[in-house]
A and B are shown apart, each in its own frame.
Chain A
């Protein structure tokens, strides 16, 4: 199953937890101190994506089921 992944930039504090939990789906832009969703994130390991969303300290990550 794939998921549509998004980051709320107003909430994100650039903790980098998402990039640690799901490096194939997220990276952090340190110039803006914000997480960025990588191309192909939607088809990353769902367990990694759930862990990234769950560990985000500001609940900035949303996963919506696709299809």
Chain B
């Protein structure tokens, strides 16, 4: 296979700030903490950083800090900066950093995603959590859902989950395996929000939110920042913690870019996004040692499992039931740091951070001999993914 441009990039550093339910710290404060740790982790100084990339950046109502704020806070001198919400989900910030490095615009790009949704207050009326809806109304596509009280992504994802159950016989007990698996793994993560043991019976007994999604199907808002440094692969031998290779990235948005008008009510855009990733690599799903798949809502993880090809279409419920396949000793250890359901809504970057730790052999629940990790983040029309390797690809 001809050289893929993303293979010119590696992840040389990764770090997180303090993470908590409500920290009452500013977004830029958390961002600086994560960024400085990531730069140090990469064996660099801020003078080496010549690029910044973030999601969602200015105008993103659910962002914790702008790229320009970090630029200013650390007095960086940049050749290139990029921030935006119209990407392949939150990992779009990583895709953009890879593009910046691969095209030679920058050599070391600091990438971050900061959330202050824990102390930022409860979901505001009509704020369209997770989907970027408007406040009291929205002239965009959300105008067709907000007037009906469907103000949260929970309502929209619940509709897909219901149809998946209807068409494929997926059960709540199967869906609950995602939450139970996440909780079991979160126990080993010192930054996780929820670590009390959870059984499937606990899951089935908790209150409904948007039926068929219950409280434990919804991730927990938190405060925290995750930062990674994307560097040119030439730097890999000098990365003190070991460089993680970018084997392939998935960015495709081939269907209608919509939460409500996507052609298939049992899958979402990740179906195309994951397919586009596999089109860019000689590796296959059988090579994946662990998967870090977005669980903003548990059903999104089922959709990612099918999109990635760990099982066939409609088979994800049976695949995860009982948690054996997705447990630490299973065929595809899943969300090994607890995911967002238990470790906090770091918006895909908790999954990314865990992927890097797994490939370094430094995870709290380490998958032995881990060499390939699939990371997928986002839901609805905003999905992106990465196939990462131990060392440059």
Chain B binds chain A: no
